[in-house]
Chains A and B, each alone.
Chain A
Amino acid sequence: MKASRRYQIFVHVAAVLVAIVILAPFAWMLTASVSDPTSLITRPYHWIPRHWDFSRYTQIFQGKGQDVAGAFRQSVINSTIVATGTVVISMGVGIFGAYAFAMLRFRFRRLTMMIFLTTYMLPPIALLVPLYLIMSSLGLLDSDLGLIIIYCSYVTPFVLWILSNYFLTIPAELEEAARVDGCSRMGALFRIILPAARPGLFATIMFAFLLAWDEFLYALIFTSTSVSKTIPVAIADFTGRYSTDFGLVAAGGLIASVPPVLLAIAFQRFVVGGLSAGAVKG
C-alpha cells in the first residue's frame, strides 16, 4: 500500500473540501442567526458578528400565542407529532404489505406494486381541491390527524417499495428454518425477518420521517392556525413578502433541521447498509 500514499493524501484533501462545501452554508446560517439585523446587510460582510444577538432564539423559545415566533415553536411540536404518527402508521401497515410483496407469490403482484408506486408519483397539486373537500366534511382541516392521514397515503407506497426490496435480500433459508421449527408465517416475520432487516427498517423509518417532515403544499393549504401548522409552513411565513429579517429565517431553519439531523446522524450507519441495499437489491 505504499504506492497509495499520494492517493491517501488526495482522498483526505477531497474529504475536507466536501466537508467545507457542506458545512459552510450551515455555519453561515448559524452566524447569521446570531448577528443583529443591520450587520446582516453590511458591506463588506462580517462573517463573525460584531454584536452577538441571541434575541431570535429567545423570541422563538419565549414568544407567546399567535405571534410568528410563538407559532413557530408550536409548529415544531406539530411537525413532530405529524411525522411520528405518519411513520408509525405507514410502517405498521407497510411491514405486512412488504412481507406479502417479498415473500408471497400471488397474481398481479408486480402490477399491484406498480399501482402503489404510481400513487407516489401523483403531484399533490392534482389532489388538493378534492382532498380539501373530504377533509372539510370530515372536520379534519387544520388538525394534525388530517395531515397524518394524507401523509400516510403517499409515505406508505414508499415504505412498501423500500421495505419489500429489503426483505428480498434476507436469505429465504432463514425463514424456512423458522417455519420448519413450527413458526407461523407471522411468527417468522416478527421473530426472524424483522430482526434480520433491522438496518432496512431504520433506514425506511428515517426516509418516511423526512418525507413527512418536509411536506409543504398540503400543509400550506390544509393548516391555518398554530393548532396544526407544520414547520415548513412556519418557515414560509418567515420568508414572506412582508418579513425582513433573514436572521429569523436562519434561526428557525436551524431549529427546524435539528430533529431530522439528529435522526439522520443516529441512523446514518444503518442508511449505508440498509435503505439503499434494500432498494437496490432484491
Chain B
Amino acid sequence: MAITRTRNIDAPPGPPGGGGGRSRRPAGQGRLAALLLLPAGIVVFGIIVYPVLRTVLISFFNVDSAVATSTPFVGIRNYTDIVGNSDFWSTMGRTLYFTVVSTGFELLLGLGLALLMNAPLRARWLLRAIVVLPWALPTVVNGAMWRGVLNAQYGSLNALLTQLHLISDYRSWLGTPASALNMLVVADVWKTTPLVAFFLLTGLQSVPREIHESARVDGAGAVRTFWSITAPLLIPSVAVVLILRTIEAFKVFDLVYILTGGGPANGTQTIAYFTYVQAFSDQRFGYGSALADVIVVCILVLSAVYLRALRRNEMSLI
C-alpha cells in the first residue's frame, strides 16, 4: 500500500486528452468539480449557512430570550465579557486539561494497543473484534455506564476494589473537582482509545515488512527500529488522530451532561457545557453565541498548530 501513496496531485490525474481535451485546463475540471461537489454543498451549506450567520450576528446583540422583542446591539461587549470572565478562563483551563490529557493517553495507549493488534497473536481477529466494542458504544450509554461504575454508594469499581482489598471503604470518585475531571478523562479514554488504535494500526501496517527485516539484519534493536522506521511513518496517522480528537474533546458535551452535570463545584464544566448552560439555562443567547464562536476559533487555531508541526505529506488534503 505504501507504494500507492506517491501520486502527486500537481500532476493532472486524468489522462491527457480526457474530457474532450479540456481537462488540462483547470477551468474545465473546475466545472465538473463544481458539479460533483454541488450535492454535498447543498446538503451541508443549505442547512448551516443561515444558522452560522445568525450565530455570528446574534453574538453582537444582547438577546435574553428566544422570543425577545428588544435586542439591543452591544458591539463586541459579549466578547469582552467572555475575556473578562474568570469562569470562562477556568473552564477553558479544564477543557484544555481534558483535551491534552485524554488525547495524550489515547495516543499512548492507542499506540500500545495498535502494536499489540499488529503482533503475531493467536486469534488476532478476536482481539480486534473486542477492541472495536467501546468505540461502537454510544457516548450517552458510555456516560451512564461510568456513572454506575463510579457511583459512591453502589458503584462496581468500589465493589471490585473493596472486595480485592485494594481500598478499605467505598470512595466518592466523582466527589471532588479534580477527581471527577480525571474520571471524565478515564471514561473518554476507555471509549476512544480503540478508535485511535485502529488509526495507528493502519499506519503500522503501511510499514513494509522488508524494511523491518533489513533493519533487523543490520542489527538494529527493536526500540531503535521503532523510532527510526515506524515512528516517522506514523506521523500522518498521529496528525489525523490529534485533529479529530481535539475537535471532539473541545466539543465534549454529552459525556459531561450524563456523567457529572458539570459538578462538583464546576469541576467538570467544559467549554461546550458552559456554552450550553449560558445559552439555554440562563437564556443569554448573545453571550452563548459569542462563546460558540470562540470555541470554533480555538479549534481552528489548534488544528493549524498541529498541521504545521506534523505536516509532511504535501499531497494530503489535510
Residues of chain A having any CB pair with chain B under 8 Å: 8, 11-12, 14-15, 18-19, 21-23, 25-26, 28-29, 32, 40-45, 47, 89-90, 92-94, 96-97, 99-107, 109-110, 112-114, 116-131, 134, 149-150, 152-154, 156-157, 160-161, 164-165, 168-172, 175-176, 179-180, 185, 210, 213-214, 216-217, 231-232, 235-236, 238-239, 246, 249-250, 252-253, 256-257, 260-261, 263-265, 268-269, 271-273, 275-277, 279-282
A123 touches B13 (CB 8 A): no
Q: With an 8 A cutoff between CB atoms, is B315 at the interface?
A: yes
A254 to B279, CA, bound (A): 33
A162 to B83, CA, bound (A): 36
Which of B73-81, B96-104, B175-183, B287-295 makes up part of the contact surface? B287-295
A130 to B289, CA, bound (A): 11
Question: Which of chain B's residues 249-265 have a Cβ closer than 8 Å to chain A?
Answer: 250-251, 253-254, 257-258
Given contacts A25-B145, A97-B40, A249-B144, contact A171 B4 (CB under 8 A): yes
A81 to B315, CA, bound (A): 37
User: What are 15 A-B contacts with C-beta separation under 8 Å?
Assistant: A14-B116, A15-B116, A15-B127, A89-B43, A93-B39, A102-B317, A113-B318, A123-B253, A130-B55, A152-B47, A180-B15, A232-B140, A232-B141, A263-B136, A281-B1
A264 to B162, CA, bound (A): 35
Q: With an 8 A cutoff between CB atoms, is B285 at the interface?
A: yes
The digit string for B185-223, where 1 denotes a CB below 8 A from any CB of A, is 000001000100011111101100000000000000000
Given contacts A11-B119, A22-B131, A106-B30, contact A235 B138 (CB under 8 A): yes
Interface footprint category on B: 35 or more
Q: With an 8 A cutoff between CB atoms, is B82 at the interface?
A: no
Given contacts A125-B279, A185-B14, contact A100 B138 (CB under 8 A): no
| Chain B neighbourhood of A260, CB < 8 A | 136-138
A127 touches B236 (CB 8 A): no
* CB closest chain-B residue, reference A19: B130
A112 to B43, CA, bound (A): 15
Which of B37, B44, B138 is within 8 Å of A96, CB to CB? Answer: B37
B47 touches A123 (CB 8 A): no
The digit string for B234-274, where 1 denotes a CB below 8 A from any CB of A, is 00110010000001001101100110000000000000100
B296 touches A121 (CB 8 A): yes
A180 to B17, CA, bound (A): 10
Question: Which of chain B's residues 104-149 have a Cβ closer than 8 Å to chain A?
Answer: 113, 116, 119-122, 125, 127-141, 144-145, 147-149
A43 touches B154 (CB 8 A): yes
The smallest beta-carbon distance between A107 and chain B, in angstroms, is: 6
Q: With an 8 A cutoff between CB atoms, is B167 at the interface?
A: no
For the complex of A and B, 9 pairs with smallest distance between CB atoms: A126-B292, A276-B202, A45-B159, A97-B40, A253-B141, A93-B39, A130-B51, A106-B30, A153-B47
A158 to B89, CA, bound (A): 30
A96 touches B14 (CB 8 A): no
A165 to B313, CA, bound (A): 12
| Chain B neighbourhood of A15, CB < 8 A | 116, 119, 121, 127
A109 to B129, CA, bound (A): 37
- Which of B4, B32, B293 has the largest count of A CB atoms less than 10 A from its CB? B4
A168 to B13, CA, bound (A): 10
Given contacts A97-B39, A273-B205, contact A169 B4 (CB under 8 A): yes
Given contacts A22-B134, A122-B52, A273-B202, contact A257 B317 (CB under 8 A): no
